[in-house]
Structure 1
């Protein structure tokens, strides 16, 4: 397996070995992932502020996930892929967000933030697990696994497709399917091992192909009168997939229903992929109704969070799913009527009205054909939903430690004033897969309170009375045009570490820093008994820490944030 480490000096080094891991089933073999914070040399360097610097800060209080909004979705890095993270995230801020949320859904959501900020902030949970974690188990699971790729569905995220463009769109969707299959043939050559170079090559080639095809789909829809599609760029990037490892991993709570602890999510049949080509005159009406279907699901998901624990055993069916089915039935009927005025009425749409929640039906997210077709014969079983009172997924076990505090802070730039972030900007920091994709984007985040001058890529052991911390800085520069990019990174960038300046063509924006502080018993620290949820191939690698963000601040609030920072004030 590939192992990435940051030396005590803070210099990034990477070592790739053909096999190995963390040794035997002795818990002490995991202690090499832990370091006394006093043994980490100071390595945090802040550029000196110049005359044009923006020195203020703006802090937002969004709580510590008191609602218990936990999910294995990652709406930034794996949009449209249910359980795409394969580990559980803490969510604060936006209450409705799931992997499928549209910008309109996010904007209509409630929030945990005291100032009304509807942005979504989320990160992998930390667990305390006093049982033995075995690197050998991970090696055995890997040896039996054929890696694959996972791609966001395109067919299920399209707007109404004009009848004149249907053939061209279907042809390109079929090409996406063939590209996905070809990528998995290449990935199969890496069975039983992790080859970061192979993975990088496959993903890069697939990204180029999907960029061209998805742009072509968007152009075909626009040329036929369907208007420009939005958000399609977010569907380009695919990811490595070692789901098969889950079958051999320990899952202590598999027999316990997820409803005991996990946030349920509404699961409804897809509609977009069931529609015929739409007559031009009906496009606007059909698209309005498709948006309404999305909004209904979003509202139902938010209710599942805000009404958690209310009512009896039939509360969800009677208060959420029943009304949702009635609303969907009416909207699906309106879609059928709109089409039937100018073409044959589509048959069977009414059968798509009924929905379930995640503890009533198995997950529908197998890797399969990620563009909306049938699942590939070689696809592993769908990843299960989080299970039991600890929301466990295979090998991500133990009780979740909720942060004692979450500090969300927007900061300035050392050389220039900041411009407001655009609404719906997506950003991420760190890399959840430094082993399977290489460590280029990974960042050291671990620290202890009282030691803000150093960050480690290992789990810290803190002095008595000090908190374990994760300090996660987001890119503070923006290309001035895009809210996302094909790899979810290129539209934003980190400022120069020495000067603090943004690279040419990029403007400084309020830089987001999220500091998570945990009260973890010191004996748990010294025994190496706390760890990050991770993808299976990462095996709780502390260097896989990451954080994701979608800006849903209003334009007025974001302007207030930028003004505060530019004036050098400290605001809340």
Structure 2
């Protein structure tokens, strides 16, 4: 009887073991290619830019009162090495609150504990004295070692050499639906979705990736660019302000206009900030990875950027006048 009992136990264990193995394998398959490369982007996160079809022109036709000008701010490429793992816009007062590294241009003092007063008194990298802060997660070559302290600081799977942009283009644009009003000083702005990989949809995905030689093609994946080209990241900020707040926890004080450029009722069009970052394109087989939260797997969809307006009233008035009169400044 004891032998039969042992055989029965062994049979039950074999059945349960087979079922568990099948369940694990099935779950692994459902996780997709990201799980095959823990801590790194999946092969499916990359696309040859030549396989991306040209995008149809979707720019709204300007109305009779459109503000068609633009204003460019030159704040350099972060040659000063201003990096940290803070996020003043999303988690003020929390050191290392981002869990990944941000690169900055503009205000040289920005960190988790910055205040309106400290920002207004700090030096800046911007020509013309704009003390605003502009920042975004870094892009890395994980196949190359991190040698500098700020490259090693983030952890959480964010490893490798940080790539420095060859160009940082900061441009403010107008509204096709009408004139823009000044942004309030110390307005906090955010674009993109830092948790897009685990989100239920892509509504928050705002960044577009591309290659400089093919400006009519963009993607939400990492592009493979032709040799000698530049890889680009473009992040467009919301431009409809509620007229009341410079910040709120839900980030509803600043939202995107409708497809026709019209702002929601009871909101006002302010200058639209566009940040374009250009990098010397890495070799076609080289891995690249955007810094992210661990569970976001360095997905290119999680790209995002932040901005705090620290322009004086006079500087902002000059910017708005330029845009509303249709000039390029």
How does the TM-score come out when normalised to structure 1?
Answer: 0.50
* Deviation of the 1:397 alpha carbon: 1.1
Q: Which residue of 2 aligns with 1:564?
A: 322
The 10-residue stretch of structure 1 (73-82 or 34-43) with the greater mean CA deviation from structure 2 = 34-43
Q: Look up the match of 1:533.
A: 291
Q: Given the alignment of the two structures, is residue 555 of structure 1 paired with residue 317 of structure 2, yes or no?
A: no
| CA distances 1:102-149 after superposition (whole Å, capped 9, x unpaired) | 111111111010110000000001111227xxxxxxxxxxxxxxxxxx
SS at match of 2:127: coil
Distance 1:28 1:417 in 2: 44
Q: Which residue of 1 aligns with 2:141?
A: 128
2:189 pairs with 424, 427, 437, which one?
A: 427
Q: Which runs of 5+ in 2 are unaligned?
A: 1-28
Q: How far did 1:42 drift?
A: 2.8
1:415 to 167, 177, 182: 177
Q: Deviations over 1:245-266 (max 9, x none)?
A: xxxxxxx87xx9xxx533xxxx
* Secondary structure in structure 1 of the residue aligned to 2:234: strand
Match of 1:447 in 2: 210
* Distance (whole Å) between structure 2 residues aligned to residue 550 and residue 400 of structure 1: 24
- Check 1:545–1:392 CA distance in 2 against 1; reply closer, same or farther (3 A cut): same
**Aligned residue pair count:** 299
| 1:29 Cα deviation from its structure 2 partner | 8.2
8 Å contact kept, 1:30–1:528: no
Match of 2:252, SS?
Answer: coil
After superposition, what is the alpha-carbon deviation per residue over 1:141-198, rounded to whole angstroms, capped at 9, x for unaligned? Answer: xxxxxxxxxxxxxxxxxxxxxxxxxxxxxxxxxxxxxxxxxxxxxxxxxxxxxxxxxx
2: CA distance, partners of 1:30 / 1:432: 17
The list of structure 1 runs, each at least 4 consecutive aligned residues, that deviate by more than 6 angstroms after superposition, is: 26-29
- The answer to whether the aligner puts 1:462 opposite 2:225 as a matched pair is yes
Give a deviation string over 1:10-67, Cα, whole Å, max 9, x none: xxxxxxx963452435999832110111222233521111111001000000000000
Instruction: Choose between structure 1 and 2: higher strand proportion.
Output: 2
Provide the residue aligned with 2:113 in structure 1: 100
In the other structure, the counterpart of 2:149 is 261
Asked whether the equivalents of residues 240 and 263 of structure 2 are also in contact (C-alpha less than 8 Å), the reply is: yes
CA contact (8 A) 2:227 2:281 kept: no
Q: Do structure 1's residue 32 and structure 2's residue 50 form an aligned pair?
A: no
Partner of 1:509: 270
Question: Partners of 1:108 and 1:25 in 2: how far apart?
Answer: 45
1:30-429 alignment runs, 5 A limit:
30-43=42-55, 45-130=58-143, 261-262=149-150, 387=152, 391-429=153-191
Task: Give the direction of change, closer, same or farther, for the CA distance of 1:466–1:124 in structure 2 (3 Å limit).
Answer: same
Is 2:180–2:324's contact at 8 Å kept on the other side of the alignment? Answer: yes
* Post-superposition CA distance 1:299-352 (Å, at most 9, x none): xxxxxxxxxxxxxxxxxxxxxxxxxxxxxxxxxxxxxxxxxxxxxxxxxxxxxx
Match for residue 519 of structure 1?
A: 280
Structure-2 separation of matches of 1:518 and 1:533: 16
8 Å CA contact retained: 1:126, 1:531? yes
Separation of aligned partners in 2, 1:517 and 1:528? 17
Q: Could you list the runs of 5+ residues in structure 1 that have no partner in the other structure?
A: 1-16, 132-251, 263-385
CA distance in 1, matches of 2:110, 2:102: 12
Cα distance in 2, alignment partners of residues 103 and 28 from structure 1: 37
Aligned to 1:19: 31
Structure 1 Cα separation of the partners of residues 93 and 154 of structure 2: 22
Question: What residue number does 1:193 align with?
Answer: none
Are residues 70 and 451 of structure 1, via their aligned partners in 2, closer, same or farther at CA, if it must alter by over 3 Å? same
Distance verdict in 2 for CA 1:442–1:53, change over 3 Å: same
State the 1:80 CA deviation.
Answer: 1.3
* SS in structure 2 of the partner of residue 22 of structure 1: helix
SS in 2 for 1:58: strand
Contact 1:125–1:400, Cα closer than 8 Å, also in 2 = yes
Flag the structure with higher helix content. Answer: 1
What is the alpha-carbon root mean square deviation over aligned residues? Answer: 2.2
